[in-house]
């Protein structure tokens, strides 16, 4: 049973527009959420995170929104750039730390020039 | 400089032939993780070490074993690889504390089983 789900396997966006990647979770014990980005033939790299005590965290072009009641989080990238083309993984933990992560299946983002 | 190094990047083995994947970290951190990622699926935690303390996930098959001879190195042994074990194997260590803690991954080893 997948506790973290990314229902869109792929997303295509025009350069300069907003990319919105979505993630849903079922485990109400999750209290810390992260997004990782993965290029082909490389390991995932940390992008941005949010604690369950917040509903928004922003870092440059990247913003993560958390809706605890809906058990939903989203990653907004604006403006999108071709270099953002990668697979994005949503991850969650239940110990208020960025370890022992449960990952979603990933969304492949393609940003077209 | 890479802080988590996995060798080799690509590994081909035969069905049933034991294979070992290696990982090293230059951060001298006490926790190391092994994840398995099959194509288009979520990375799945196999096990992790806290120092020499080995922690196996409940659903990790017995076919998968691990060794950590020292802080820097960790090995994943697959005793009798099956076709279903073909995957990307990711090693990671942690960085930071509490809500600043993040996993730092190596580039992975892509395992093919013929």
Q: Enter the tokens of residue B67.
A: 């060794």
| E-strand stretches of A45-95 | 45-51, 56-59, 62-67, 72-77, 86-93
Residue-wise pLDDT for B58-97, tens only, equals 889 999 999 999 999 999 999 999 999 999 999 999 887 7
Predicted local confidence at residue B1, as pLDDT = 56
Half-sphere exposure of B107 (CA within 13 A, CB side): 12
Mean pLDDT, all residues of chain A: 94
Residues A18 and A22: their CA atoms lie apart, in Å, by 13
Predicted local confidence at residue A40, as pLDDT = 87
| pLDDT greater at residue B1 or residue A43 | A43
Predicted local confidence at residue A59, as pLDDT = 96
Interface of B with A in 53-112 (CB under 8 A): 90, 92, 94, 96-108, 110
Are the C-beta atoms of residues B81 and B62 closer than 8 Å to each other? no
| Cα distance from N-terminal residue to C-terminal residue, chain B | 34
Predicted local confidence at residue B28, as pLDDT = 83
Residue-wise pLDDT for A51-102, tens only, equals 999 999 999 999 999 999 999 999 999 999 999 999 999 999 998 777 789 9
Closest alpha carbon to A33 in A1, A72, A62: A72
Q: What is each CA distance from A87 to A11, A15, A32, B47, B61, in whole angstroms?
A: 10, 17, 20, 24, 27
Q: Give A-chain residues touching B30 at CB under 8 angstroms.
A: none
Q: What is each CA distance from B2 to A44, A79, B66, in whole angstroms?
A: 13, 29, 22
Are the C-beta atoms of residues B43 and B34 closer than 8 Å to each other? no
Residue A89 has a CB neighbour count (10 Å cut-off) of: 25
CA distance A81 to chain B (A): 23
Half-sphere exposure of B113 (CA within 13 A, CB side): 18
Predicted local confidence at residue A64, as pLDDT = 98
Closest alpha carbon to B95 in A41, A49, A64: A49
Residues B78 and B94: their CA atoms lie apart, in Å, by 24
Predicted local confidence at residue B40, as pLDDT = 82
Residues B27 and B19: their CA atoms lie apart, in Å, by 26
CA distance A12 to chain B (A): 17
Whether chain A has a CB inside 8 Å of the CB on B39: the answer is no
Closest alpha carbon to B65 in B87, B80, B83: B80
Half-sphere exposure of A84 (CA within 13 A, CB side): 27
Residue-wise pLDDT for A1-28, tens only, equals 789 999 999 999 999 999 999 999 999 9
Q: pLDDT-derived band of residue B43, with 50, 70 and 90 as boundaries?
A: very high
Closest chain B residue to the Cα of A47, Cα to Cα: B102
């Amino acid at each position: 049973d997948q506790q973290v789900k990314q229902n869109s396997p792929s997303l295509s966006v025009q350069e300069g527009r907003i990319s919105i990647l979505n993630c849903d979770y079922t485990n109400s014990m999750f209290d810390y959420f992260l997004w990782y980005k993965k290029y082909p033939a490389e390991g995932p790299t940390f992008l941005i995170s949010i604690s369950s005590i917040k509903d928004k965290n922003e870092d440059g072009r990247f913003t993560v929104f958390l809706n605890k009641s809906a058990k939903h989080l989203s990653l907004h990238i604006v403006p999108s750039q071709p270099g953002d083309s990668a697979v994005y993984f949503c991850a969650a933990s239940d110990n208020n730390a960025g370890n022992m992560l449960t990952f979603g299946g990933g969304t492949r983002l393609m940003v077209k020039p | 400089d890479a802080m988590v190094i996995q060798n080799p990047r690509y590994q081909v083995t035969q069905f049933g032939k034991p294979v070992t994947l290696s990982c090293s970290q230059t951060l001298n951190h006490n926790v190391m993780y092994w994840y398995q990622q099959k194509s288009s699926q979520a990375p799945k935690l196999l096990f992790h070490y806290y120092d020499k303390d080995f922690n196996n996930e409940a659903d990790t098959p017995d076919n998968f074993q691990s060794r950590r001879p020292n802080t820097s190195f960790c090995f994943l042994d697959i005793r009798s690889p099956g076709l279903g074990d073909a995957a990307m194997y990711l090693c990671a260590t942690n960085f930071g504390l509490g809500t600043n803690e993040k996993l730092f991954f190596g580039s992975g080893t892509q395992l093919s089983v013929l």
